[in-house]
């Protein structure tokens, strides 16, 4: 698209002369015969250069330049005043104060006019190229920001998948061991104990066999949600695999209260589960056997504590299931 030059002069002969002199300048010429018409045209066009007659009736060139200088999108448009009063220093200073970048004296010298117009068109072209380069750079920067954000989201998702169970969203065995080791290391500093509870879901296999794996998966998701609702913010719940879950219960000082709390969890897990199976809607009835190991600083490793809780869990299952057993 060709750059545009606005030629403003109230004398038709001058406009014709300008049209002839600038016919091959490489720009589209747009003409105005008054200051008001020039201002109206500036609302609809973006000009590379304005050739502005100073002496016009109603609104002279100085007034037009002043109004253009107050318009955001026209403030940086170069204005060359075309005037017979070029030799008057006061008029030149006045023009520069109102935004003129140059003067051309009347009668217009062809070579001077074409040379100055060429300079400002080259400047406009260079600025346009620079703006395009800056726009492209800005677009590339936004693209890089989006790419970095997407990579960070992907990395966060990979890290989450590596440490969380895909079905229930609970921490998996890897993250469970990490949190258990952290709890063991933190307990002496806090001066309080904590407990590890291992849970097996009683009756899960029957639901899975009778109603299909999707129903079994839905049951595990529902169990995980109930466990989330019944732990405190600083506690942890994990799915270790299959129908095996674990809870790390922090800041425990009273083992009797701990046992009561685990019994409440077991009672909540034993409530009915309305589900959709392969033969339609049904209500699942399961329960939980829970083995509890209280850590008071004597058990040195996470594996030792897990073995203690695991033995208590087997006692709960052997004792008739749907029970809580505290390791002694």
Q: pLDDT by residue (tens digit) across 148-162?
A: 999 999 999 999 999
Coil, strand or helix at 15: helix
Does 173-326 match 4-131 at the fold level? Answer: no
Question: pTM for this structure?
Answer: 0.61
Superfamily of domain 4-131 in CATH is: Response regulator (3.40.50.2300)
Residue pair 7/113 in contact by the 8 Å Cβ criterion: no
Which of these, 159, 166, 143, 170, lies nearest to 239 by C-alpha position? 170
Enzyme catalytic residues: 243
51-82 per-position pLDDT tens digit: 988 888 888 888 888 888 887 777 788 888 88
Coil, strand or helix at 9: coil
Superfamily of domain 173-326 in CATH is: Reverse transcriptase/Diguanylate cyclase domain (3.30.70.270)
The CA distance from 155 to 115, in Å, is 59
30-42 per-position pLDDT tens digit: 999 998 999 899 8
200-251 per-position pLDDT tens digit: 999 999 999 999 999 999 999 999 999 999 899 899 999 999 999 999 999 8
Residue 4: burial class (beta carbons within 10 Å; 0-12, 13-18, 19+): middle
Residue pair 4/27 in contact by the 8 Å Cβ criterion: yes
184-196 per-position pLDDT tens digit: 988 877 677 899 9
Residue boundaries of the structural domains of the chain? 4-131, 173-326
pLDDT of residue 248: 96
Whether the predicted pLDDT of 101 surpasses 90: no
pLDDT of residue 190: 67
**Highest mean pLDDT (candidates 84-93, 163-172, 291-300):** 163-172
The CA distance from 173 to 182, in Å, is 14
Binned at pLDDT 50, 70 and 90, residue 96 comes out as low
């Amino acid at each position: 698209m060709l750059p545009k030059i606005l030629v403003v002069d109230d004398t038709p002969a001058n406009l014709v002369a300008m049209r002839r002199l600038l016919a091959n300048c490489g720009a589209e010429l747009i003409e105005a015969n008054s200051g008001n018409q020039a201002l109206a045209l500036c609302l609809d066009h973006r000009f590379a250069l304005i050739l502005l007659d100073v002496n016009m009736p109603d609104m002279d060139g100085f007034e037009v330049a002043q109004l253009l200088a107050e318009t955001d999108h026209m403030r940086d448009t170069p204005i060359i005043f075309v005037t017979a009063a070029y030799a008057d220093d006061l008029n030149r200073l006045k023009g520069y104060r109102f935004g003129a970048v140059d003067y051309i004296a009347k009668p217009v010298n062809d070579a001077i006019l074409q040379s100055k117009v060429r300079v400002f068109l080259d400047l406009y072209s260079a600025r346009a190229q620079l703006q395009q380069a800056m726009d492209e750079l800005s677009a590339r920067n936004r693209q890089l920001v989006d790419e970095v954000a997407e990579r960070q989201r992907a990395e966060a998702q990979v890290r989450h998948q590596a440490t969380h169970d895909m079905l229930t969203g609970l921490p998996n065995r890897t993250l469970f061991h990490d949190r258990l080791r952290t709890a063991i290391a933190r307990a002496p500093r806090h001066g309080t104990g904590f407990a590890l509870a291992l849970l097996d879901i009683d009756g899960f296999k029957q639901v899975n066999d009778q109603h299909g794996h999707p129903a079994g998966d839905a049951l595990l998701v529902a169990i995980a949600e109930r466990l989330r609702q019944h732990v405190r913010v600083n506690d942890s719940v994990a799915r270790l695999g299959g129908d095996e879950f674990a809870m790390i219960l922090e800041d425990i000082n009273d083992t009797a209260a701990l046992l009561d709390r685990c019994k409440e969890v077991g009672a909540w897990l034993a409530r009915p589960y309305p589900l959709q199976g392969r033969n339609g809607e049904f209500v699942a009835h399961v329960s939980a056997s829970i083995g509890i190991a209280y850590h008071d600083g004597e058990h040195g490793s996470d594996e030792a504590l897990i073995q203690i809780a695991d033995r208590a869990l087997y006692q709960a299952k052997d004792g008739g299931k749907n029970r809580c057993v505290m390791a002694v």
